[in-house]
Amino acid sequence: MNKVSVIIPCYNHDKYVQDAIRSAINQTYENKEIIVIDDGSNQATKETLNEYIGSIDLLITQVNKGVVSARNNGIAKATGKYILTLDADDYFHPDFLKKAVKILDENSGVGMVTCWASIKNSFGKETRISKPTGADPFSGLFRNNASASLLFRKKCWAEVNGYDRNMDKGFEDWEFTIAVGKKGWSIFVIPEILFNYRNIPNSRNKKARLNYPDLRRYVYKKHKDLLTQNIEGTIDNFLDEIGTQNFQIEKLRNSRNYRIWKTFKQMENKLKNIFENRNVRN
């Protein structure tokens, strides 16, 4: 039975990290170790983590360096053949590891295992279902090929020199699956909802979207070989994306909210012109 190291980076998630740790503890797959990395958290989070010292295998404390550093630090100290990454505000179904490990054990070409995910708000109410594609690395440049939290072989992490430190502003998990895929490893998607992702206010992913153009530019330049080797597919994907954006813009323009906003904007401009003309006459 191959050992799994569960890696949980944590920064100021005292409200949610207990669910993450408990979901790791409650995995029905028994041969595992749980490593939590305190990435310079506040006192409330430190007190919460200290409550689990007897239930986890290792608590690493570091000054705040970001999730990329924290995750790499934890994996470097992991003793398992397989690695399960888990963000501190999310949690897995108890049977995920049991099902995912079996897939890695029986399929030598599979490097990563993910699953469908339930996207929840901060109150735990499901808002939608995410179904990753498990796509090849080229297609992964344009589509969600895996969840951020997934199971993979530690050798995959070593082959790509870990998570890219240049992506400390977000989406490092996206780049990681692309890099691993380029090494010849495939992604297996379990068609079941075995992962719960919390879409909380001020989350790291929401902040990452503010830097999305720069992060995307970096990933495309780093993996430009995929784009140039599949030039027709690259053109098709970019044109499809432009078409989707144009459709969304047109949909917005035809929406009731946009018409109301446009009416108020026109009224605002008229009032502005009236006051400006009055000031000129005075």
CA distance 25 to 33: 9
Cβ atoms of 4 and 82 within 8 Å: the answer is yes
Average pLDDT, the chain: 89
* End-to-end C-alpha distance for the chain, whole angstroms: 87
CATH for 4-229 (2.60.40.10, 3.90.550.10, 3.40.960.10, 3.20.20.70): 3.90.550.10
pLDDT in tens, 130-154: 999 999 999 999 988 999 899 999 9
Segments making up each domain of the chain, as ranges: 4-229, 236-281
Give 241-267 pLDDT, tens digit per residue: 776 666 666 666 677 775 666 666 676
170-226 pLDDT per residue, tens? 999 999 999 999 999 999 999 999 999 988 666 566 666 677 889 999 999 999 999
Query: How far is the C-alpha of 203 from the C-alpha of 5, rounded, in Å?
Result: 25
